Amino acid sequence: MLSDVVDVLACPHCHRACSTTRSGLRCEEGHHFDVARQGYVSLLTGRHSGHGGDTAGMVADRADFLTAGHYAPIRDLVATAAGSAVEPGRDGTCVVEVGAGTGYYLAGVLDRLAGSRGVAVDVSRYAARRAARCHPRAGAVVADAWAGLPVRDHAVDLVLDVFAPRNPAEMRRVLAADGVLLVVTPEDHHLAELVGPLGLVGVDSRKQERMDDQLGAHFRLVEREQVEFGLALGHADVRRLVGMGPSAHHVQEVEVSSWLAGRPEVVAVTGAVALSVYHPR
Ligand SMILES: C[S@@+](CC[C@H](N)C(=O)[O-])C[C@H]1O[C@@H](n2cnc3c(N)ncnc32)[C@H](O)[C@@H]1O
Ligand SMILES: [Zn+2]
């Protein structure tokens, strides 16, 4: 719930601490933010980039796809790394997931870290609606990572970023000096059996190098683990996978249907991701 994490939130206007009121949150300067009926709070400001993030349809497809367990190996990978990064029994530690979507990975991490609470940050209010219910110790906030994270300086022990945008300076600012950043990125052959035939957005082979460069001023790479796993996808799962990703905007439904028409009922697909562990500089 939001009340579990309000002490780590910062007002997006004046960056002061927030506390809960009867209808929402209020900062020390008096800026007020309503909590939505679904339990999340929007801390968007006028400075936000205008990008609304994932649409309702994309979020629904993502929720169904993840609930079916196809990305459970990624969730396990992230939770195990979180267990090494943060002492599991330590009370009051805080995890922030940037671009959290439905909060699927944050919930997995909070299950592993008994004493922790978590903040799911996403610019999409449809995502925040789901993330608000992802775990009893999580709160969901709508915010644009490019405009800044509405989180207090050095208040966070672990930042997660799974297939989501990265704002290195902000991720560094919110992390404690001994905090850890975990980033999951797709490898270049992730979903290869679908990317080529369906014209999905692929991964460029220099992605990891570019990420290390992008993060380098604020973070030091300490470990990188590559994981490959098999997905057995029914036709509805393939449609959801297309619908939940960046290809949702340009791949036509009819193309997906005609490709699936020539496939077996269950399509074998490769999942391949890298988990990178960074420490603040
Ligand atoms: C590919 S999805 C990944 C979601 C989640 N991490 C997962 O893997 O299930 C990217 C997410 O980042 C969010 N997003 C995009 N731009 C953002 C921004 N500027 N600030 C915060 N979130 C953003 C989208 O709304 C979407 O939920
Ligand atoms: Zn304020």
Spans of all domains in the chain: 2-280
Gap from CA of 57 to ligand 1 centroid (Å): 14
- pLDDT of 49 strictly over 70: no
Gap from CA of 127 to ligand 1 centroid (Å): 8
Which residue of 163, 171, 201 sits with most ligand 1 atoms within 8 Å of its CB, as the best mutation to test the pocket?
163
Say what the pLDDT of residue 247 is: 83
- What's the average model confidence in pLDDT over 84-93? 88
- pLDDT of 44 strictly over 90: yes
Residue of the nearest CA to atom 12 in ligand 1?
Answer: 99
Q: Residue 182 in contact with residue 87, Cβ under 8 Å?
A: no
Say what the pLDDT of residue 10 is: 98
Gap from CA of 54 to ligand 1 centroid (Å): 7
Nearest atom in ligand 1 to 102's CA? 9
2-280: CATH class: alpha beta
Say what the pLDDT of residue 50 is: 63
Q: What is the pLDDT of residues 130-147, one digit of tens each?
A: 999 999 999 999 999 999
| Percent of the chain with pLDDT strictly greater than 90 | 84
- pLDDT of 228 strictly over 70: yes
Say what the pLDDT of residue 254 is: 86
Tokens of 71: 């990305």
Nearest atom in ligand 1 to 53's CA? 25
Cα–Cα nearest to 125, from 58, 53, 46 = 53
The residues with which 140 forms a beta bridge, in sequence order, are 120
More confident residue, 241 or 251: 241
**Average of per-residue pLDDT values in the chain:** 94
Gap from CA of 146 to ligand 2 centroid (Å): 19
Protein residues with CB under 6 Å of any ligand 1 atom = 51, 53-54, 62, 99-101, 104, 121-124, 127, 144-146, 162-165
Residue of the nearest CA to atom 16 in ligand 1?
Answer: 53
- What's the average model confidence in pLDDT over 85-109? 94
Q: Is 77 helix (H, G, I), strand (E, B) or coil?
A: helix
Q: What is the pLDDT of residues 151-207, one digit of tens each?
A: 999 999 999 999 999 999 999 999 999 999 999 999 999 999 999 888 888 887 788
How crowded is residue 19: how many other Cβ atoms within 10 Å of its Cβ? Answer: 12
Gap from CA of 239 to ligand 2 centroid (Å): 43
Please give the single-letter amino acid code of residue 278: Y
Say what the pLDDT of residue 208 is: 85
Torsion of CA 42, 177, 106, 230, to 10 degrees: 130
